[in-house]
Amino acid sequence: MDCIANYLPWTTYPNVDGFILDVPPLTSFRRGGNKAVTVVYGTTSNEYSMIFSTPGEIAAASIPNHQFVLGLSRLDVNAGLADVWAATMAAPNLTTIKQDIYSDFTLNSDPEEWSTHIQMANDVWFGRTIDKGSRALMQGGSTRVYKMLYMFGVTANVAAAVDELGYGPLSSFLGAYHAGEDSSDMGFYEFGYDWFGLVFGVYASTGRQMDWASQEIKMASAIMHYWKNIMATGDPNSDGTEYPVWAANSEMTMGFSPSFTDGAAFGACIRLHPCVSESLATFRKFHYDYYDAYTAGTTAVTGTGPTCAAPWVEAGVPDGITVKDNFGLTLLYPPGVNHECSTCSCPGRRSMLFGASSLPPTTCSCV
């Protein structure tokens, strides 16, 4: 495998040595060892856009390593190295995974498949971890498990300033990047700053403060509302507020974005890609089922297209904003491409795993 970012599982996975960790974390969750704790499990839309600089490296570093994890998932704990190697080689690889799960991401005029690889890595290392962890916690008796998705990257004013500095539409490359949520949950918006602008010197270069737009502040205020409640009571909700109820131990995910009227929406429809809509009620479920089916030895996974209105309206739309063009998207690669979709639809998906014939990749249409 030729990749620059060597993110290897045997150097990053928990080491159960009997001194620091006496059992694997998921085992501890299932036994109820953490059930008294409030857990907020979440990710940004585009975690890996900040970590990797070349699209191919993302998939090369993430999916093959997960291929190793999937191979182990079907082995006895006493299996030898030869068995581990054979099982790894038999597990779903980069090409298979891309065709089975992400074929509808390729209709984006993106020859390098940047956003496809971003989503693949995000799903494997963040999304699936959240799914498996939350299920294990609930199995162990946890009653306060909350799932979230942060879908905001660079403020409109900062994006414009970055363009003025001659870097081009850099915000389109980042989307909702790794650690971008800190701009909201650490209160940067109260001072007219954000994490990206401070770290990369945007404010120093332009010599001016850039206030957040009203709907961006609305989203950040929603996050702070939930965070303060969690810190005070262990429950993100409080009576008499305009914010949506965030239910615990739910399949549904709370989404945070300025594209929602309230800045937050629970289980709403989101626009994950120019022609891919998805409901936060079953967010990335097809992806999780695919890997779980392989581990269980199932030969096929059937998924249905999202039953979302076009392409992001279930939670309302802020005043003065029209649902068109790039509305709701965070990762707009390639820069300058204007994705005009008023409605999107994808047929049901059926992926055949090893030992069965493969079916044509999923296609999506927009009008």
Helical ranges in 31-147 per DSSP H: 55-73, 81-90, 94-101, 114-122, 128-139
- The 10 Å Cβ neighbour count of residue 131 is 22
- Each residue's pLDDT tens digit, 239-275: 888 899 999 999 899 999 999 999 999 988 888 877 7
Give which of 70, 79, 146, 147 is closest to 354, Cα–Cα.
Answer: 70
27-62 pLDDT, tens digit each = 999 999 889 999 999 999 988 887 665 655 666 666
| Cα distances (angstroms) measured from residue 184 to each of 51, 193, 220, 291, 306 | 20, 10, 5, 33, 29
Asked whether residue 1 is domain-assigned, the answer is: no
Quote the pLDDT of residue 32. 95
DSSP 191: G
Residue 3 lies in a domain: no
Residue 168 placed within a domain:
yes
232 pLDDT band, cuts 50/70/90, is very high
Instruction: Note if the pTM is more than 0.85.
Output: yes
Residue 295 belongs to a domain: yes
18 pLDDT above the threshold of 70 = yes
Residue pLDDT, tens place only, 129-173:
899 899 999 999 999 999 999 999 888 877 777 777 666 566 666
Please report whether residue 32 resides in a domain.
yes
Q: What is the pLDDT at residue 156?
A: 80
Q: How many domains does the chain have?
A: 1
Give the 3-state secondary structure of 96-125: HHHHHHCHHHCCCCCCCCHHHHHHHHHHHH
- Whether the pLDDT of residue 201 is over 80: the answer is no
Domain hosting residue 184, numbered range: 9-366
Q: What is the pLDDT of residue 3?
A: 34
Tell me whether residue 2 is in a domain: no
Whether 112 is in a domain gets the answer yes
**Which structure tokens are listed for 182?**
């800190």
Asked whether residue 351 is assigned to any structural domain, the reply reads yes
What letters, b where the CB count within 10 A reaches 16 and e where it falls short, cover 208-237? eebebeebbbbbbbbbbbbbebbeeeeebb
Under DSSP, is residue 23 helix (H, G, I), strand (E, B) or coil? coil
